[in-house]
Amino acid sequence: TEVATARCSMWWSAGRTAGACLRMPHLLQPPSWRWRSSTKRLCSRMSSSRPPWRLLFFGSDEFAVESLKLLTSSRNANEGIVETLEVVTLPGSVPVKRFAQQNRLTLHGWPLHDVTGQFDVGVVVSFGCLLNEALIKKFPHGILNVHPSLLPRWRGPAPVFHTILHGDAVTGVTIMQIRPHRFDVGPVLNQELHPVPQSCTADQLGAVLAVKGAHLLIDTLKTLSEKMENRREQSQTGATFAPKITKSMSWVLWEEQTCDQIDRLYRAIGSRIALRTTWDGRTVKLLEFVGRCHISLADERRKPDPGSVSYQKESDTLAVCCKDGWVGFKAVLLKKRLTAADFYNGYLHQSVQKSWPGGKFVSRKTELRQDGGRGLDSVT
């Protein structure tokens, strides 16, 4: 009886243990396996110190799309640089959002919710919003920024425009590490120079730098740890700021600006904001700029005043006198679009008979002095 009782007790105990193991299968595994499994899960939650990276991309415009496009291609091709890729963008139908939707990338709105432990590296390209310190610390390897200038020159939101506007012969792209509170002041990880082609526009230069910046970003991500170790702080020497382009910059000052300065102004902002002047107190938009032009005057001995307008019939161009010569436009917008010939026939030819101002475009500054700041339309 005692033996039977002992056997029953052993059977019951074994059955209870087996039942427990069925309910908790990990107890059936040897301790060494359980340790390796838990270590693997822990490591999967920890950030890697080398690629492929789990990336979160912040961007908005066409310039940013080039970097996102190359990151997406790298991930799809399993190049060992990008493991996962998700996107943060701004409200509205911005180019980055459209690209992300077309390529089925996970989208996050702004401001961003908690992303602790989900990503290794952040990438910011033309995003336009400051990232706070708490968010930056969520990324073990920091947040990188692709900036289209050779920092510290042209910090700020419009570096390409100011590169053209100020006649820089050389520009480039910079990969820097984001710091909180201020734009474009973080340490530089990578830079590449690019000569500025003569007569190129801001749009053309921006497109080239977007592609160059995307490739420089990939190059940086390949050896990010090494780049981080060799990063360098920006010098304050040579630091300049590139503020946003505004309509107030589009007014041509005929007395002060040279042919070259007007040419650079047009190439910098002309595709987005038309150059402007005034005619008889009304705002005129200057269209289809043709650059410096050589004209023939009826009276070569008479030196024209800045702002003087001459219609060149042979080339169908309105030539306007500035500080050091003449620049030409093929059309203007005054109530409606007018060709050079239309403007001559409808306005310029008649103004020669009048005393005010005798065939001249007047700079906004001069116009404001003449009427005490009254009577100008659209002078913002």
- Residue 202 to residue 149: CA distance in whole angstroms: 12
**Residue 143 CA to its chain's centroid (Å):** 16
- Whether residue 24 has pLDDT greater than 70: no
- Residue 342 to residue 348: CA distance in whole angstroms: 9
Q: Is 355 helix (H, G, I), strand (E, B) or coil?
A: coil
Return the percentage of the chain with pLDDT > 70, whole number.
Answer: 79
pLDDT-derived band at 145 (thresholds 50, 70, 90) equals very high
Burial of 228 (0-12, 13-18, 19+ CB in 10 A): middle
Asked if residue 30 has a cis previous peptide bond (ω within 30° of 0), the answer is no
Reading the block at residue 1, the tokens are 């009886």
The answer to whether 266 touches 275, Cβ cutoff 8 Å, is yes
pTM, to two decimals? 0.82
pLDDT-derived band at 14 (thresholds 50, 70, 90) equals very low
For 79-129, what is each residue's pLDDT tens digit?
999 999 999 999 999 999 999 999 999 999 999 989 999 999 999 999 999
pLDDT the model gives residue 374: 39
For 267-314, what is each residue's pLDDT tens digit?
999 999 999 999 989 999 999 999 999 886 655 556 789 999 999 999
pLDDT the model gives residue 359: 77
Please list the alpha-helical segments (H only) found in the chain.
2-23, 31-45, 62-76, 95-102, 133-136, 159-165, 202-222, 224-229, 259-269, 340-343, 349-351, 364-371
Beta bridge partners of 234: none
pLDDT-derived band at 177 (thresholds 50, 70, 90) equals very high
- Residue 145 to residue 38: CA distance in whole angstroms: 36
- Residue 193 to residue 285: CA distance in whole angstroms: 36
pLDDT the model gives residue 48: 67
pLDDT-derived band at 16 (thresholds 50, 70, 90) equals very low
Beta bridge partners of 172: 193
- Residue 137 to residue 378: CA distance in whole angstroms: 46
For 33-87, what is each residue's pLDDT tens digit?
443 443 333 344 455 689 999 999 999 999 999 999 999 999 999 999 999 999 9
Question: How many Cα atoms within 13 Å fall on the side-chain side of residue 106?
Answer: 7
Instruction: Work out the number of other CB atoms within 10 angstroms of the CB of residue 352.
Output: 8
Phi first, then psi: give them for residue 33, nearest 5 degrees: -65, -45
For helices 95-102 and 62-76, the axis angle rounded to 10 degrees is 20
The answer to whether 192 touches 149, Cβ cutoff 8 Å, is no
pLDDT the model gives residue 38: 39
DSSP assignment of 89-158: --SSS-HHHHHHHHTT-EEE-SS----TTT-SEEEEES--SPPPHHHHTTSTT-EEEEESS-TTTTBSS-
Nearest to 60 by CA among 149, 132, 123: 123
The amino acid present at 137, given as its one-letter code, is K
